[in-house]
């Protein structure tokens, strides 16, 4: 397998983007990534477009996106893995290069989720688990799914609504310094705790927003990186992936995600990581709901099972803590345009590792970062270890 590095990243502004079409939104990220990499679009041999597409007007978006971005004839390929679609795009570009099929590729994640109303969006999301046995019979939605995880975690480990609210406060505080974030205002703990319930015990500020956005990453082989003279590549040191049952009733419990545990184990093994807290500088984790970030602390082995609530309460996931998590605001406040999320995680990790994160920069010791992206309620899972 060839060694693969990321040589350019770009990210659009997240939020309600009714000022642009889907292709234009993707181009915002692609243009920045191409300029960042210092390459010509003609140099790119493969384009992988990641978009869920269930809320977009464009049903087959890869070709129009590639045409608009100047990649006609280079692929294109479209991938989908629910909320982990961006990581699926990144993984596809990575494996294409590591296998020798291409030397330079672009992964594009893009989604326009606000093309439909909230009720329709919730219904579409609810279908993404198991339509016949869950949504069709019980009308489940994603807040409902993660409310089950939150209730189970609270019952078994004593996790509190206050601890979940602290995740929201931290991530909104970080997003307030991120000019590309959907929400750019801090919130108080009192505001988070007093917000209305969406699906008990999850309140309004426990839930990520419905966002539009795009992100792009340009990957290249080690040989190509030398040829281009890139002096600051970020190497992909480890990759792990897993999946779980579509029907939640077939899972043994609701206090963690098997996909995270298995994907992390594979990525850690590949990257030679035994103690992630000591060997990583930063983590970008999937916090579609605040309970998801708390479970991620545990499943990624940042702390023992059941101690995720204390991990946030003690400030261990904040700047200056044991490992800063979601420094750009996370899905919770930066936004969660499904197809873009996984690539936007790589964007954040690369910016941090290159020490280009401005007021959100972490102190680097190991020059290693982790990205963790979940599709659905654990239906898909990817973990990447990146190193400068």
Catalytic annotation, residues = 83, 336
Residue 104: HSE in the Cβ half-sphere, 13 Å Cα cutoff: 23
Task: Tell me which residue has tokens 């206090």.
Answer: 255
DSSP 242-307: EE--SSGGGSS-SSS-HHHHHHHHHHHHHHT-S-HHHH-SEEE---SBHHHHHHHHHHTTSS-TT-
Closest CA to 30 of 39, 4, 325: 39
Count of beta carbons in the 10 Å neighbourhood of residue 186: 15
CA-to-CA distance for 13 and 354, rounded, in angstroms? 20
Which helix or strand (DSSP H or E) is residue 222 part of?
A: helix 222-228
Task: Tell me which residue has tokens 């990447």.
Answer: 384
- SS3 of residue 323 by DSSP: coil
- SS3 of residue 236 by DSSP: strand
Closest CA to 273 of 293, 301, 295, 299: 301
Instruction: Please write down the long-range contacts of 152-160, taking CB distance under 8 Å and 24 or more positions apart.
Output: 152/253, 152/254, 152/255, 153/254, 153/255, 153/291, 153/294, 153/295, 153/308, 154/201, 156/255, 156/306, 157/255, 157/305, 157/306, 157/307, 157/308, 157/309, 158/309, 159/291, 159/294, 159/308, 159/309, 160/309
Cα dist from 142 to 123, 160, 182, 289, 374, whole Å? 9, 20, 20, 9, 13
CA-to-CA distance for 178 and 359, rounded, in angstroms? 9
């Amino acid at each position: 397998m060839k060694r693969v590095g990321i040589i350019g990243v770009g990210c659009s502004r997240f939020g309600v983007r009714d000022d642009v079409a889907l292709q234009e939104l993707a181009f915002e990220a692609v243009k920045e990534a191409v300029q960042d990499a210092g390459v010509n679009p003609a140099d790119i041999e493969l384009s992988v477009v990641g978009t869920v597409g269930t809320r977009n007007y464009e049903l087959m978006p890869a070709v129009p996106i590639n045409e608009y971005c100047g990649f006609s004839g280079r692929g294109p390929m479209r991938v989908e893995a629910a909320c982990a679609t961006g990581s699926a795009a990144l993984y596809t570009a990575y494996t294409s290069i590591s296998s020798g099929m291409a030397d330079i590729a672009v992964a594009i994640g893009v989604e326009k989720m606000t093309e439909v109303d909230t009720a329709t969006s919730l219904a579409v999301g609810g279908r993404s688990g198991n339509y016949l046995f869950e949504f069709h019979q019980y009308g489940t939605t994603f807040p409902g799914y993660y409310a089950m995880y939150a209730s189970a975690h609270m019952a078994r480990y004593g996790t509190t609504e206050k601890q979940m609210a602290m995740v929201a406060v931290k991530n909104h505080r970080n997003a307030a310094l991120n000019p590309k974030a959907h929400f750019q205002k801090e919130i108080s703990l009192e505001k988070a705790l007093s917000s209305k319930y969406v699906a008990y015990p999850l309140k309004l500020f426990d839930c990520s927003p419905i966002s539009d956005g795009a992100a792009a990453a340009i990957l290249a082989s080690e040989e190509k990186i030398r040829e281009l003279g890139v002096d600051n590549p970020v190497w992909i040191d480890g990759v792990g992936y897993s999946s779980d049952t579509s029907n939640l009733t077939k899972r043994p419990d609701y206090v963690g995600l098997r996909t995270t545990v298995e994907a992390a184990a594979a990525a850690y093994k590949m990257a030679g990581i035994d103690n992630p807290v000591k060997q990583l500088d930063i983590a970008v984790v999937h916090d579609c709901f605040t309970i998801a970030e708390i479970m991620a602390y545990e499943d990624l082995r940042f702390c023992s099972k059941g101690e995720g609530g204390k991990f946030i309460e003690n400030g261990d996931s904040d700047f200056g803590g044991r490992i800063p998590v979601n420094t750009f605001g996370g899905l919770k406040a930066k936004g969660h345009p499904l197809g873009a999320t996984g690539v936007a995680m790589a964007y954040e990790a690369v910016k941090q590792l290159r020490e280009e994160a401005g007021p959100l920069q972490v102190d680097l010791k190991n020059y290693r970062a982790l990205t963790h992206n979940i599709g659905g309620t654990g239906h898909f899972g990817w973990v990447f270890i990146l190193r400068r």
